[in-house]
Amino acid sequence: MDAPILSISGLRAVFRIAGRDIAAVQDLDLTIGSGETVALVGESGSGKSVTSLSIIGLLPKKIGHIAEGSIALRRRDGTVTELTGLDPESLRKVRGNDIGMVFQEPMTSLNPVYTIGEQIAEPIRIHLGKSHRNAAADAVRLLAQVGIPDPDRRARQYPHELSGGMRQRATIAMALSCNPTLLIADEPTTALDVTIQAQILDLLAELQAQRGMGILFVTHNLGVVAEIADRVAVMYAGRIVESGPVSEVFTRPRHPYTAGLMRSVPRLGQATSLKAAGTPLPTIAGNVPSLALLPKGCSFAPRCAMAVDACRAAVPPLFAATSTQHSRCLRWKDL
Q: What residue type is assigned to position 321 of the chain?
A: A
At 113-152, the pLDDT tens digits run 999 999 999 999 999 999 999 999 999 999 999 989 999 9
Give the largest CA-CA distance in the chain.
67
pLDDT computed for residue 105 by the predictor: 79
Banded model confidence at residue 48, pLDDT cuts 50, 70, 90: very high
Banded model confidence at residue 200, pLDDT cuts 50, 70, 90: confident
Q: Pick the residue with more confidence: 14 or 76?
A: 14
Give the other-Cβ count within 10 Å of 271's Cβ.
Answer: 11
At 205-261, the pLDDT tens digits run 998 999 899 999 999 889 899 999 999 999 999 999 999 999 999 999 999 999 999
Banded model confidence at residue 177, pLDDT cuts 50, 70, 90: very high
92-120 mean pLDDT: 91
Query: What φ, ψ does residue 200 adopt, rounded to 5°?
Result: -65, -40
pLDDT computed for residue 270 by the predictor: 64
Question: Which residues lie closer than 8 Å to 58 by C-beta, 6 or more apart?
Answer: 95
Lowest-confidence segment of 141-155, 182-196, 232-246, 318-332 by average pLDDT = 182-196
Banded model confidence at residue 275, pLDDT cuts 50, 70, 90: low
At 281-303, the pLDDT tens digits run 788 988 889 999 999 999 999 99
Q: Pick the residue with more confidence: 106 or 48?
A: 48
d(CA 101, CA 117): 17
Mean pLDDT for the chain? 92
Query: Between the CA of residue 257 and those of 176, 236, 272, 280, what are the distances in Å?
Result: 35, 8, 25, 19
Helix (H, G, I), strand (E, B) or coil at 41: strand
Question: Where do the structural domains in the chain lie, given as residue ranges?
Answer: 6-229, 239-334
Lowest-confidence segment of 173-177, 181-185, 264-268 by average pLDDT = 264-268
pTM of the model: 0.92
pLDDT computed for residue 136 by the predictor: 96
Banded model confidence at residue 274, pLDDT cuts 50, 70, 90: low
The architecture (CATH level 2) of 6-229 comes to 3-Layer(aba) Sandwich (3.40)
d(CA 24, CA 175): 26
Closest CA to 245 of 235, 232, 256, 257: 232
